[in-house]
Amino acid sequence: MEQTSDKIYKNRMLILFNVVLMTFMATLDGSIVNVALPTMAEKLSVSTEAIAWVVSSYLIVISGSILIFGKLGDTKGKTRIFHYGIVIFTIGSLLCGIANSFLFLILARAIQAIGAAATMANNQGIITQVFPSNERGKALGISGTFVALGSMAGPPIGGFIISSFSWNYIFLINVPIGIFVFLLGLKILPKSQKSTAEKLDTKGAALFAIFIIALFAALIMGEEYGYQNPVILAGLISSLICFSVFIISERRTEYPLLPLSLFKNGLFSLSIFCAFISFISISISMIIQPFYLQNVLKYSPAYTGIIMVVYPLIMSVVAPVSGSLSDKIGSELLTFLGLVANSTGLFLMATLNENSSLLTMIIYIVIMSIGNGLFQSPNTSLIMSNAPRNMLGISGSVNALIRNLGMISGTSMAVLILYSRMSSRIGYNVSTYISGREDVFVYGMKGAYLTAAFICSLGAALTAFRLYKIRKFKLNQTK
């Protein structure tokens, strides 16, 4: 448990700044290296396929360890684990910055990811503890905004650093910021009280880590080698087996890593599922957009980057407003409206073709970004508000895990649908853009966007049913 006081309440906005700054840096490092990969491959003398693991290893380690740190946050103190995470992340960043070999960089990247996981697992729990219920939605909305900004601001920031300095500074820039966040946190974050005697479920942790590694490795490598490859299929089957054994083990363990009782709360479970759906749709859109802008509409990479800034900018304005509004009118209606707007935007994106105007596309992107801005903050507030106070750490880590799972699933789904439809259209197997055949790419793109729209519509239908049940219950209570 954590202690609260008037002093902590008065410092709540400074605490929020401290937490979201670290959240921004941790999510930023998931995407900032993308633009530097060609340079890093050349300097470290490795192939393009190999250097991609600088990104993949970070994502896999975070996803495989985040539940562990969420559980440790609940048993040892959220602030304590958050502080440890800052230190480990900063050390990992320093090691990445001084790396002079590919293997050393991957190991340093894993250390950095462990620190990021420790902070991501407990940031929402700290915010939920510090802010009262009538301010929580706005605070979580601001946190969600920084997650989105961190994920989407990586490429332009990385491009600036690469063009001005060496690739090492992509990581070294984290060191002074990490030291600042750590020192500020020591002064203002709520102090952790005595830890509980609850033991860590090491068996569950190992099973879950194997599940994540096998699943992510299969999904990522499947994009290159095909999902029919026997090795890829074996990885997917192994992950399914490990996950099944993990669930059985958690039911029988006295102190499970993931208390399945969390999911008995229907509102919590539905909100988690809708979060997964939303991140799948976001990822499908983000992976398709740059190819459409550059290959079909013939815009330069720099201009493409400017256009893609529209989404996070709109969302960064809408999300805090939506979070604040959810504190006043509740979250259920806003999540429904958000998913409806996002689904509408995705259906509209599916109508784009090689002759569409840029203004038309930007209007559709604005609709999608407003939808996600409306949805994310209230949905996160629903997740954290419906979690027991002694499970805020594990609840926050589940939410962060779902974000990563949704993003990687959406990316794999987009690639699979895009190229399978392109292959069907042209009559032979393709795995890249075909010069001069914009119509083939548009055909594949339509399928990807329609799939994302239907998935998002499912979430909207579920939230509509939830809204109907809640209003019916309230109506019966007044009679």
pLDDT at 55: 80
Cβ–Cβ under 8 Å, residues 332 and 467: yes
Segment 2-20 mean pLDDT? 75
In the predicted model, is pLDDT for residue 271 greater than 80?
yes
- From residue 255, how far is each of 87, 202, 306 by CA, in Å? 28, 10, 49
pLDDT at 386: 80
The CA distance from 145 to 84, in Å, is 24
Confidence at 4, pLDDT banded by 50, 70, 90: very low
In the predicted model, is pLDDT for residue 66 greater than 60?
yes
Supply the mean pLDDT for the chain. Answer: 85
The CA distance from 237 to 380, in Å, is 31
Segment 76-98 mean pLDDT? 93
419-435 pLDDT, tens per residue?
889 888 888 887 677 77
Distance of CA 268 to the CA centre of its chain: 18
Cβ–Cβ under 8 Å, residues 46 and 54: no
Quickly list DSSP for 390-458: GGHHHHHHHHHHHHHHHHHHHHHHHHHHHHHHHHHHHTS---S--TT-HHHHHHHHHHHHHHHHHHHHH
Segment 406-412 mean pLDDT? 81
Segment 244-258 mean pLDDT? 90
Crossing angle of helices 310-329 and 332-349, in 10° steps, is 160
pLDDT at 1: 40
Least confident of 172-181, 203-212, 385-394: 385-394
In the predicted model, is pLDDT for residue 479 greater than 60?
no
What is the CATH T-level fold of the domain 261-479, as seen in this structure?
A: Growth Hormone; Chain: A; (1.20.1250)
Residue 404 buriedness (CB in 10 A; 0-12 / 13-18 / 19+): buried
Confidence at 473, pLDDT banded by 50, 70, 90: low
237 vs 223, higher pLDDT = 237
The boundaries of every CATH 1.20.1250.20 domain in the chain are: 1-200, 261-479
pLDDT at 461: 92
The CA distance from 265 to 83, in Å, is 30
Segment 273-292 mean pLDDT? 85
pLDDT at 476: 65
Tell me what percent of the residues of the chain surpass a pLDDT of 70.
92
What is the CATH T-level fold of the domain 1-200, as seen in this structure?
A: Growth Hormone; Chain: A; (1.20.1250)
Q: Indicate the helix (H) or strand (E) that contains 348.
A: helix 332-349
Q: Whose CA is closest to 83, among 212, 155, 188, 225? A: 188
Cβ–Cβ under 8 Å, residues 322 and 339: no
107-117 pLDDT, tens per residue?
999 999 999 99
At 283, list the tokens: 């990822």
Segment 147-164 mean pLDDT? 74
Cβ–Cβ under 8 Å, residues 45 and 167: no
DSSP 3-state assignment of 166?
Answer: coil
Phi first, then psi, for residue 355 (nearest 5°) are: -105, 5
At 255, list the tokens: 């102190």
